[in-house]
Amino acid sequence: MATLTRQQIASAAAKQGILIAFALFMIAFAFANPKFIGLDNLSSVVRSSAILGVMALGVTFVVISGNLDLSVGSMMSFSTVVVLDLHDKIGPALAIPAMFAMTLALGALIGLLVGYLKLNSLIVTLGMLSAIHGLTLSYSGGKNMDIADKAGTWFSVFGQGSALGVPMPILIFAGLAALLGVMLSKTPFGRKVYAVGGNATAATFSGVPRARTVFTCYLLSAACVAVAALIQASRSMGAQNTVGQGLELEVLAAVILGGASLMGGSGTIFKTVVGVLILGFIQNGLLLMGLQFYVQFVVTWVIIILAVWLDIAAKRGKLWSRIA
């Protein structure tokens, strides 16, 4: 049997470090509180992670294409407020497609700026984060939204319903993950996304339409945000106009935890789902241990730094390098 070199071991540890850390977290939380591994708690964590997970699925395409999307949190706030407001004005049957159309329009604008005008995605989406937040406050007049007749509408099925005993948010998340997983790994479009993220110049000279591919990735991201907003609005039947504030950080953390590289060209939908569950179970475990909810933000930050470090280490084959 071949002997592994220290460099090979270090590279393997870098690639699997997050999964090892997650396993240690799970064991520690299970010992700290036996309720952590209870079926009800596990189901609750997956259900509560569905909204974040749906958003992360779309951002996975964006990150693999070599770009970022920091606007998804404020976009989710806008979409949630819009569908709740239109629900009472024109009914849920028309409110849902209207909300999807508005959200896709925002995604198309970002895709146009980043894909066709080739502006920096970090700057564009950071600016859109503030712009969409202002748009949300203007639309709502600074007020929170609430459905008047909560008992007389079928709208609650998306966030509160179930099928065969499985909560609807979990089914939506799983179904969308399966669909987008096939799209990314088994279709020509998916191969174009990897090509653009791996080397945009080479992809362009190979005949891959870079601008259209990036544009489509942002449309997919916006569509996933609309689905997440639908689940959120349906679950609570009301929302603050800042309901999605800060989610962009957690979404990006989940995608990077799943192995998608910030440099583009790598990542999978399955691993993004794993990243979402890692965040969900860690946050749940911290709460069961009696720590305050704001500790989650510190832990999330630490996890992001660790994930980025492991990502870079995996590419250079070393966990630590004396040369910057």
- Could you give all domains of the chain from N- to C-terminal order, each with its CATH number? 34-316 (1.10.3470)
Predicted confidence band at 15 (pLDDT cuts at 50, 70, 90)? low
At residue 49, the pLDDT reads 92
| Residue predicted with more confidence, 321 or 235 | 235
Contact (Cβ atoms closer than 8 angstroms) between residue 228 and residue 77 = no
At residue 1, the pLDDT reads 44
At residue 215, the pLDDT reads 97
Question: pLDDT per residue over 199-232, tens digit each?
Answer: 988 998 889 999 999 999 999 999 999 999 999 9
Span 298-318, mean pLDDT?
Answer: 67
Q: Out of 185-189, 252-256, 275-279, 319-323, which region has the weakest mean confidence (pLDDT)? A: 319-323
At residue 9, the pLDDT reads 56
Looking at residue 175, its amino acid is G
3-class secondary structure, 6: helix
Instruction: Describe the crossing of helices 188-198 and 168-186 by its angle, rounded to 10 degrees.
Output: 70
User: What's the burial of 147, exposed, middle or buried (CB within 10 Å: 0-12/13-18/19+)?
Assistant: buried
- Percent over 70 (pLDDT), the chain: 86
Instruction: Describe the crossing of helices 188-198 and 210-236 by its angle, rounded to 10 degrees.
Output: 110
User: What's the burial of 249, exposed, middle or buried (CB within 10 Å: 0-12/13-18/19+)?
Assistant: middle
CA distance 173 to 227: 9
Question: pLDDT per residue over 143-185, tens digit each?
Answer: 888 888 787 789 999 999 988 889 999 999 999 999 999 999 9
Is residue 18's pLDDT more than 70? no
Structure tokens at 291: 């720590």
Predicted confidence band at 19 (pLDDT cuts at 50, 70, 90)? low
Structure tokens at 138: 């203007």
Please, which residues have CB within 8 angstroms of residue 120's CB and are 6 or more apart in sequence?
114
CA distance 306 to 308: 6
Span 258-284, mean pLDDT?
Answer: 86
Span 282-290, mean pLDDT?
Answer: 79
At residue 315, the pLDDT reads 59
* Of 105-109, 155-159, 282-286, highest mean pLDDT: 105-109
| Residue predicted with more confidence, 104 or 323 | 104
Question: pLDDT per residue over 230-240, tens digit each?
Answer: 999 999 898 88
Span 106-125, mean pLDDT?
Answer: 96
3-class secondary structure, 189: helix
Strands (E), the chain: 145-146, 162-163, 166-167, 238-239
Closest CA to 299 of 76, 28, 69: 28
Q: 146 — phi, psi (to 5°)?
A: -155, 135
Predicted confidence band at 35 (pLDDT cuts at 50, 70, 90)? confident
Is residue 16's pLDDT more than 70? no
What distance separates the 2 farthest-apart alpha carbons in the chain?
A: 70
Is residue 124's pLDDT more than 60? yes
Is residue 293's pLDDT more than 60? yes
CA distance 90 to 84: 10
At residue 21, the pLDDT reads 64
What is the overall mean pLDDT for the chain?
Answer: 86
Q: Out of 41-50, 213-222, 297-306, which region has the weakest mean confidence (pLDDT)? A: 297-306
Helix, strand, coil % (nearest 5) of the chain? 75, 0, 20
Closest CA to 272 of 43, 42, 73, 52: 52
Total-model pTM: 0.87
Contact (Cβ atoms closer than 8 angstroms) between residue 77 and residue 241 = yes
Looking at residue 28, its amino acid is A
Is residue 291's pLDDT more than 90? no
Instruction: Describe the crossing of helices 168-186 and 210-236 by its angle, rounded to 10 degrees.
Output: 170
CA distance 267 to 280: 20
Looking at residue 117, its amino acid is L
Closest CA to 108 of 96, 98, 116, 99: 116
Predicted confidence band at 294 (pLDDT cuts at 50, 70, 90)? confident
